Amino acid sequence: MPRTKGLYTDLPKLLQRQTVDTLMLGYVIGWSKRSTFPVLQIKNGVESFMKEMNITEDEYPLESAIVTYYRMLREYNSFKKYHETNKI
C-alpha cells in the first residue's frame, strides 16, 4: 500500500474552494506579478478576471472576490511556506 506524503496535509483547504475562486487566485497572482506595485493591481486584476470570464457584479461581487483572493492567498502562502521548510 502506498504511503501518503505530507504534501496532502494542507492541500484540502485550497481544493475545497470553488473553481472560479481558484482560477481567480492564479489569474490575479499572475496579473500582480506584471506590475511594479502589485498591491495596487489586485483590484484591477480581479476586475480583469471578471471581464475575461464574463462574470457580472451580480454573479460575483467585486468586494467579495477581493476578500476571497486575500483569504486564499494567505492559505496558499502558508501551504507554500510549510512545504519550503519541510522538504519532501
Q: What is the pLDDT of residues 37-86, one digit of tens each?
A: 666 678 888 898 889 888 888 888 999 999 999 998 888 888 777 667 77
CA gap 40, 32 in Å, rounded: 8
pLDDT given at position 59: 85
pLDDT given at position 63: 92
pLDDT given at position 10: 52
Q: Phi and psi dihedrals of 19, rounded to 5?
A: -60, -40
Residue 83 CB burial class (10 angstroms; 0-12, 13-18, ≥19): middle
Which sequence spans correspond to the domains of the chain?
18-83
pTM of the full structure: 0.65
pLDDT given at position 1: 47
Per-residue cell: 79: 501551504
Q: How many other CB atoms are there within 10 angstroms of residue 23's CB atom?
A: 14
* 10-24 residue pLDDT tens: 555 555 567 788 888
